[in-house]
Structures are given as structure tokens and as C-alpha cells.
Amino acid sequence: MSDSLSYFRQNRLPHIWCPGCGHGTVTGSLVRAIARLGLDKNKVIVVSGIGCSSRAPGYLDFDTLHTAHGRALAFATGIKLSRPDLKVIVMTGDGDCTAIGGNHFIHAARRNIDITTIVMNNNIYGMTSGQYSPMTPKGMLGTTAPYGTVERSFDLANLAIAAGATYVARGTAYHAPLLIDVMEKALLNKGFSVVEAITQCPTYMGRKNKLGTAVEMLNWFKERAVNVKAAAAMSPDKLEGKFTIGELYNKSEPEFTAEYSALVEQVRRKFDTFQGGVRECAQNSD
Amino acid sequence: MPNAKLMQGNEACTLGALAAGLDFYAGYPITPSTEIAELCAEELPKIGGKFIQMEDEIGSIAAIIGASLTGRKTMTATSGPGFSLMQENIGYAGITEVPIVIINVQRVGPSTGQPTSLAQGDVMQARWGTHGDHPVVVLAPGNVKECFELTVKAFNIAEDLRVPVIVLTDEVIGHMREKVVLPEPGSLKISKRKAPTNPAGYKPYEADLDGGVPLMAAFGQGYRYHVTGLFHDETGFPSNKSDVTDRMLRRLMRKVEKAEPQMRDYFEESAHDCEILVVAFGSSAMSSLSAVRQARAQGIKAGLFRPKTIWPFPEETLRAYAAKAKRVIVPEMNLGQIALEVERVIRNGAPVERLGKVNGELFKPEEILSVIMGGKQ
């Protein structure tokens, strides 16, 4: 535990999250995964966008970047391409990642850039007090869905896999040990990794939808989550109303910044007579 | 002349950026700026730099801000629609004080407008496009050589002041070819942001309240600090205290205002004793200069004032040149943007005549000459 604590900016605590919120559990799980790997604090960069989830980096003792809504992955792409030696982690939420940031999400996955993305999915916009998100299940209530949303929600894991992510896992704030395990593997994957961490928002999602207290919401996760390994042996009937957790995808593919660095080496060998200063430019197209 | 080359404005901007130390470029294709991205894609790998084509212009500016935080000199280039998309993150770079350079090769707007035609309609957007008061510097080259020079200057200002700097060119300046004599490598003044030397006690946003610039640590060097687009105190962590907000915003604005005399850059011809002063920038100023010379040849005391730094506007200098003028004419490829600033600056002086053109075609010198001559030509 002391190892994990040393990764926090303890003077920034307590955090701003509501009583019962699951974001602390997810942040704690990430820090424990980092502690298990013994990552060098000076070589980890944590980037976030806007929303409840995105306040997490402020509490972590790394170089931390709290960016604009939806754009964390684009900022993180600049950092990782510039310094491939750094471990870059993005902490984002369901609205930040899948609505306003959806385009950056699929393109980061497509590039297979070595960024570990933790999506804290509470199925709602918490910071702006309870509007429905692209991850709000159909029929559920939000302040902008007073009669229940008629929109379909994303399957985030399948979206990530289809777009090219090479490590994809799902867990919940109830299953913290599993979260730590999959986050550790996500951090080790040399490529774009996504961990969807389902968390409870008792203040807005819970209250608006009469889901009860934080404990009741956690029990809801416990009752409906099925490990993907167990699910493989279950009939569709038995899986009705359930969702899978655990490691959903893990495949090694060429990583973007490594590929670019290799390209740079190749080009430099070709132009190794360059001495610095203003370069000759052979041609330019119109 | 070994360094004399025939080149386009877009190429000159790129070579200027490389001479200034550009080593990271992110961008999205858009006419008429794309040559800048193409040349960066080709040149940056040769020097171990990085190029990435992002999924849109929002991602492009985000990526260069991220890369700049790791200590690199970064740039993007775009035109109207892309520049509109970048606005939110221009404010982000302003409040977080991350140096970046943006080349905006203007085209006719609004919206998709006329992608391949000339306009100068982004003067006000370049200054006020993002929400809230914010620091920004805008430079406007008037020819191909200045594309090189002012891009170097843009990087230097960005590094010295930790502000976003916009190089505002246009379709004609960007695509026009001229002979440029490139400076000898090593002869240029190149700035580099001031960095702290010790992580202990580092306060990332500690600076003299009278326009001071804080020391900037690069990410990944052990400083472990926080950067946010929320108002923050000297430590970099968010604060919603009213005095912190007030102090910080005033310092950000003062930073640019205080440096204005050192940054100020302009061109004038025959302006010191003119009775008719033409104020123009960028490609409009090329036609204006020709018109002023023709007027002088006919014995008319006309002069040209061409600001190169347009934000902050060189108001003291303009006021001095306009002091004796009986008329002030402002030709520009919009319906009156820089004219608003000219009117403000010389509000008790000569009347300002706006000469706007928005059909996508460059001014002919005769159009401006005719106005100088009072329509009598």
C-alpha cells in the first residue's frame, strides 16, 4: 500500500468526487497496477480531457496534463510521438472518450500508438449533472432524457477492437482486483490499450434511475458481470441481461511510434550528409 | 549567391520554421496550406524530427501542444475552416503558456468559401477567435522572403513569451514564387524557452506579475508538474479564487503588451511626409506599394504603412505616420477588419477610407491608385 501511496500527490487529496463515486476505486486500481510494475514516476505522463474522470491526474505524482474536452488522446499522441520512451496514460470518461473524443479514440486505436487508455464509464455526464451519454443504455433516464433515451449505446470494447486497439479489457469498480490485473497488462502492451472501467455514479445515474445507493449499484455490477472465460461456456439464455468482464482482446501488432522511429532511421541513413542549418529542398508540389 | 532560391511562400514558411528549430509538426490537409505539411513530412525525418497527419485540425493543434510540452519546437499549418476548428486549443495554449506556431494561409470564407482564392478575412479571428481574453501574437508577411523571416520570428516570440503565435499569410503570399536569399546557417538569432535548473521547489507558473514569463520545464525530466486549462495558481493546480483568476489573466495579457515595442515590425515607404497614407498588410500591401509609387511619380504625396506585427498592432508607429496625413486609405481583402484598428488608433486624425475587396481576386494597383487620386484618374 505504501508503494501505491507514493504515486499520489497526497497534498492534493481529498479528491473532488462525490461520496460513493467509483472513480476513486478506478484511480486506485491504476496506481496499484503502476506500483506493481514499479514504473519510474519521472517517465510516466498522465493526460486527461474534461469531466469527473479527467480530474484524476491532478492527484497523481507524475507530469500530468488536464486538456480540453475530448482531446486527451490527441494531446497524448503528440507527447508519445515526441518521446516514445515515456509511458503515456490517458484517463477519460464515457462522454469525453466516446462522444466529443470519439474520432481521436478510433484514430489512436487505428495507429496502435502505445497509449494506455482508462475509460471510466459511469454511463452519464456527471460533471454537468446528469445528461445521457453515448454509453447510457437505451431507455435509461438522464436530465436530457427525461423520458428515457431512445438512442442506442456504444459497445466500447468492440468499437476499440474494430478500430485496431491491441489490448482491450473491461472491469467494474466492484471488481477492483481484476481491474488492477487488466490495467497491469494494458500498461505492458506495446500498443493502444483500452480498459473500460464501469463505475457507479450514485449522484446522477443512480438517483435519476432509482438504482439505489453506491453499494446497491456495486451489487448490480456484481450480479450482472460475467468473466469472459466463464461466459464462453454459458448459453445465450444464461447470458441474457449480463455483461462480460476480463481480458477481451490481446494481440501483438506493430506500434506506431516504433514504426515511425524506424522510418526516421531509414531516412536519416539516406540523408546522412546533412550538416545542420537551412536544408536544401529539392522540390515542392503545388 | 549560393543560398538564392526560387520558392513559394508556403515553402519559405517551412524553411523558416526548420531554421528556427522546428522538430515536430502535426497537421491536416487543407488548401491552400498543404505544401507546408508536405514539405514537413519530407524534411523532418531527415533531421530526426517528427511529422504526423492527424485526424483533424483539433487533433493537430492538440498534438503540437503535447509535443511542445516535451520540449520540442512545434508547428501546424492550416486555412480558414481548419483555423476555426483550432480556436479552442489556441486558448488552451494561451492559458497554459505552451509555445506553438500556427501558419494560417487565408482563403475566402466563411465556411468552405473559396478554397483556392485569396482573402484576408481572418484578421479578427486570429486575434479574438477563441473565447475569453487571451494572449496571442499575429505576424503578417508581405512577401515570400518575409514568410521565412517572420516564421523564424514567430518561433522566437513563442519561445520567449510562451504564447501561441500565428503567422497570417494568404493564398497569394503562400503560392507566389519569388527569389529568396536564405541567410547563412548560424547567422539567425534563435530563441529557446527558459527552463528551470532544479525540480526542487519548482513552481511552473511563478512569474513577475508585470508580464513575467514563467520558466518552462519539459515533461519527462523529473519535474512532475500539472498543466490545466482551468485557471490555476503559481503551482499549476486549479484555483477558483477570484484574486488568482484576476492576477493570472492580467499577467498573461500584460506579457504580450509589455513585449510589443521589441516585437514591433513594419515596413513603410514615403510615409514620413505623406498627405495620403495607405495602410495595408500581406498581399494587399503589394498592390498598395505599386499604387503609392505611381502616385508619387505623379507628384502626389502618398505613402505606405505596412504592419508586419498586426497583433499587437503597432499603434504608436501608425499614429506618428498618420499625424500629418489628410487622408488614410485601408485596402484589405475583407469588408473592414484591420480598418477598425486603424480607425481606433487614429480616431482624432484623418478620416479613414475603407477599401474592401471580397471577390477572391488580388487588388490591381490601379484600383488603389484610383482611390488615392480621389477617383480622378
| Domains defined for chain B, CATH in brackets | 4-181 (3.40.50.970), 266-372 (3.40.50.920)
What CATH number is given for A2-270 in this structure? Answer: 3.40.50.970
Residues 50-109 (B) with a CB less than 8 A from some CB of A: 50, 52, 54-56, 58-60, 62-70, 72, 74, 88-89, 92
- Distance of alpha carbon B361 from alpha carbon B291, whole angstroms: 17
- Of residues B353 and B185, the one with the higher pLDDT is B353
DSSP B238: B
Taking only the tens place, the pLDDT of each residue in B330-377 is 999 999 999 999 999 999 899 999 999 999 999 999 999 999 999 754
pLDDT bucket at B140, cuts 50 / 70 / 90: very high
Q: Are strands B309-311 and B137-139 parallel, antiparallel or unpaired?
A: antiparallel
- Distance of alpha carbon B325 from alpha carbon B272, whole angstroms: 9
Q: Mean pLDDT in chain B? A: 97
What is the predicted pLDDT for the residue at A282? 46
The answer to whether residue A88 neighbours chain B at the CB level (below 8 Å) is no
Q: Is the pLDDT of residue B148 over 60?
A: yes
CB contact under 8 A, B219 and A74: no
Looking at chain B, the whole-number percentage of residues with pLDDT higher than 70 is 99
* ipTM surpassing 0.85: yes
- Distance of alpha carbon A210 from alpha carbon A243, whole angstroms: 20
What is the predicted pLDDT for the residue at A244? 98
Taking only the tens place, the pLDDT of each residue in B263-296 is 999 999 999 999 999 999 999 999 999 999 999 9
What is the predicted pLDDT for the residue at B336? 97
| Mean pLDDT, chain A cut into blocks of 10 residues (286 residues total) | 86 96 98 97 98 98 98 98 98 98 98 98 97 98 98 97 98 98 98 98 97 98 98 96 97 98 94 58 42
Taking only the tens place, the pLDDT of each residue in B221-242 is 999 999 999 999 999 999 999 9
What is the predicted pLDDT for the residue at B253? 98
The answer to whether residue B3 neighbours chain A at the CB level (below 8 Å) is yes
Residue B229 is nearest to which of A42, A68, A76, comparing CB atoms? A68
Residue range B12-30: average pLDDT? 98
**Dihedral pair phi/psi, residue A56, rounded to 5°:** -55, -45
CB contact under 8 A, A68 and B89: yes
What is the predicted pLDDT for the residue at A271? 84
In contact, A134 and A105? CB cutoff 8 Å: no
